Structure 1
Amino acid sequence: MNTIAKNSRPAYDQLRNLDAKSWTKAYFTTTSKADNVENNMSECFNAWIISERYMPVLTMIQEITFKLVTRIKNKREKMLNSDQILCPKIKKKLDFYVTEARNWNATWDGAGTYAVKYGVRVVTVDLVNKTCACRVFQLTGIPCAHAIAAIHNSRQQAINFVSDYFKRDMYLRSYSQPLEAIKGEEFWEFETTDPLLPPDIPKKLRGRPKKLR
């Protein structure tokens, strides 16, 4: 915070007014196994439906539903045809940490904690409770480089310490519920007798219309 204050006082004042639990990892809970502080999920979804966003409402819903049904089916079939225990992206992260762990040396204290050392830096790891002093292990559910060094010292496999959230069975459960297909407009049943009124069209502004991205 002192560094932020030196670079931008308005940014410092704004962050002081926000709940620290919503923007800094130091106060994140370890239940959700997610350490993201950005809004990438919403941004990716908006980019994915960029062409559908400018369609009429009913057409937009129908097109998005069709894309979602296709995506759920493809994701489910891809994992069913795979023999990996972990999800692909999680496996890639774990492999990166395994490579980083080569620089760290671990030793067991005889109780339940490991001291992991690299140069003058020493980090403690508890494999029983799956925690590390850096908090990456408990925040993400994926063993960090320090934890993997301790895991290898204990002659165990790092893949066994990854949270169940990121394993094949949980992935398939996420995509196990089908999204019901929607009939086209020609098959709709209209039961109401109320007259359909045209929508209110606002006055057209001058100049070229702007698109908000």
Structure 2
Amino acid sequence: MRDEHGVGVTYNKAWREKTLAADDVRGSNEESYALLPSYLYMLQLANPGTITRVCKDEENRFKYMFIAFGASLDGWKQCRPVIVVDGTFLKTKCGGTLYAACVKDGNNQIFPLAFGIGDSENDNAWIWFFTRLKEAIGDRENLCIVSDRHKSIKNAVEQVYPGVYHGVCLYHLKQNLRTKFRGLHVHAIFETASRAYSAQEYYSAMAELQKISPEMTTYLLEAKPKKCARPFFPTKRYNILTSNIAESINAAIVHARELPITSLIEAIREMLQRWFSTRKEVAINQFVEVTKWANDEMEIKLDVAFRMKVDAIDAMKSSVTYGDRVFVVDLEQHMCTCNEFQLEGIPCAHAIATIESKYLDKYKFCSNWYKNSVLKQTYAGSINPLPDKVDWSVPDEIKGDSMKAPKFKVKQGRPKKKIIPSTGEFPKHVRTVKCGNCGTLGHNRKNCKSQPILKEG
């Protein structure tokens, strides 16, 4: 305004004008909440099988919302039964939290399952979300839920899914270790232990960790190995060991989190429409029996398999020698003593060495989750757009439900737009401080709690 028009305005006035202009373009938050019932009605008409739920308080104010697209609910049946959940804050003046539940398809891509909106990450909100999720997807054998160690998620899973296994995100657990045990460079050992396929590998890594830091070893044992260590997990987690896919969803819609609620849902719908359309075309044009990701994984293992010595035991069994270790592969049972074959559902390098020695088709030994025909079924449905608003035909009882926006208190200062890092995390764009005394990250020499290092001379 000063450069182009010669008019001086204060920062606050410029900010208020920007907010008013944004409301003129995309509607205000109050208008968006009032439109929400009609929008959800038309969304369900355009996308058969879609489930939406809205919870209001006594004053007809918005409290919670849940949405699962029909195409996602159909495709979920073809995906591995490991659900990753996470929540992230919304950036409007009404605040709130967006909840996301997603899985991985056979091509190792993020497959969004359901979304929710609530006031914050608290027990009541998560319990409501998980209850609606359970109603939408029903029961599933060997179901597993993966999340960070948020107490409200833990409490909600225990209440709504008492018989379902709850796994801890390894990335967040590692970040907690970095914060709690500063200066110990043993995170590679933790990675080895947590990602091990066999109990022998896990105990070997933990024994090495015990020598360096008994305190860290005790902390990991208190976190319960069956929640974070793959060899002891009661069911298969496959390669889904972190909650990164849910956080990737949050990153994909980072700009939409500033929009009013109906515009936010529409942005999510548009993203899913693009994903379903693109991935459906990729699956149709894939002529290998398995998905591209599964094929690439086996090609990497094939390079290692050629360096292994295979001795047949019978028509379907072999002993495989690699270095100083010997593994037994049973192709009929889809098993190897390294445990990778049965835990991943894709032949390990030892199994591929056996398959190649017997001149068999390695694709036949992949789990059905990774078959290209299953991927086609995953994206058989479509996410459809809504008709133009002037063509909406909404019943009067829904149109007359003028929902109110949730109560909110405008905070002083400019609204925060950047995510708050988890414990042990540092934003990528921020230069991390390194202590000149102890050499660890996150603080400087002045704030260091370690003993000063005396220099000779």
Range of TM-score over shorter length = 0.7 to 0.9
Contact 2:286/2:292 (<8 A) preserved: no
Q: Deviations over 1:169-195 (max 9, x none)?
A: 100111112234334555373635466
SS of 1:165's partner is: helix
SS of 2:306's partner is: helix
Q: 1:208 to 1:179 in 2, by over 3 A?
A: closer
SS of 2:380's partner is: coil
Name the residue aligned to 1:92. Answer: 296
Contact 2:341/2:351 (<8 A) preserved: yes
Matched length = 212
Q: 1:70 to 1:203 in 2, by over 3 A?
A: closer
SS of 1:73's partner is: helix
Residue 41 of structure 1 aligns with an amino acid whose one-letter code is: I
Q: Deviations over 1:91-114 (max 9, x none)?
A: 110100111101101111237421
Name the residue aligned to 1:204. Answer: 411
Q: Deviations over 1:45-84 (max 9, x none)?
A: 1121111122111100011101101210111112112322
In 1, Cα distance between the equivalents of 2:408 and 2:360? 66
In 1, Cα distance between the equivalents of 2:403 and 2:368? 51
Q: Which 10-residue stretch deviates more, 59-68 or 152-161?
A: 152-161
SS of 2:329's partner is: strand
Residue 65 of structure 1 aligns with an amino acid whose one-letter code is: R
Name the residue aligned to 2:71. Answer: none
Q: 1:210 to 1:47 in 2, by over 3 A?
A: closer
Q: 1:177 to 1:210 in 2, by over 3 A?
A: closer
Name the residue aligned to 1:2. Answer: 207
1:175 and 2:382 aligned:
no
In 2, Cα distance between the equivalents of 1:153 and 1:103? 12
1:140 and 2:344 aligned:
yes
Alpha-carbon shift at residue 125 of structure 1 (Å): 0.6
Alpha-carbon shift at residue 211 of structure 1 (Å): 2.3
Alpha-carbon shift at residue 208 of structure 1 (Å): 6.4
Contact 2:319/2:328 (<8 A) preserved: yes
Runs of 4+ that moved beyond 6 A: none
Unaligned runs of 5+ in 1: none
Name the residue aligned to 2:282. Answer: 78
SS of 1:46's partner is: helix
Over aligned residues, Cα RMSD in angstroms?
A: 2.5
Contact 1:24/1:37 (<8 A) preserved: no
Q: Which 10-residue stretch deviates more, 127-136 or 43-52?
A: 43-52
In 1, Cα distance between the equivalents of 2:271 and 2:358? 46
Identity of aligned residues (%): 25
TM-score normalised per structure 1: 0.86
Contact 1:87/1:166 (<8 A) preserved: yes
Name the residue aligned to 1:56. Answer: 260
TM-score normalised per structure 2: 0.43
Contact 1:105/1:118 (<8 A) preserved: yes
In 1, Cα distance between the equivalents of 2:347 and 2:405? 58
1:20 and 2:225 aligned:
yes
1:154 and 2:358 aligned:
yes
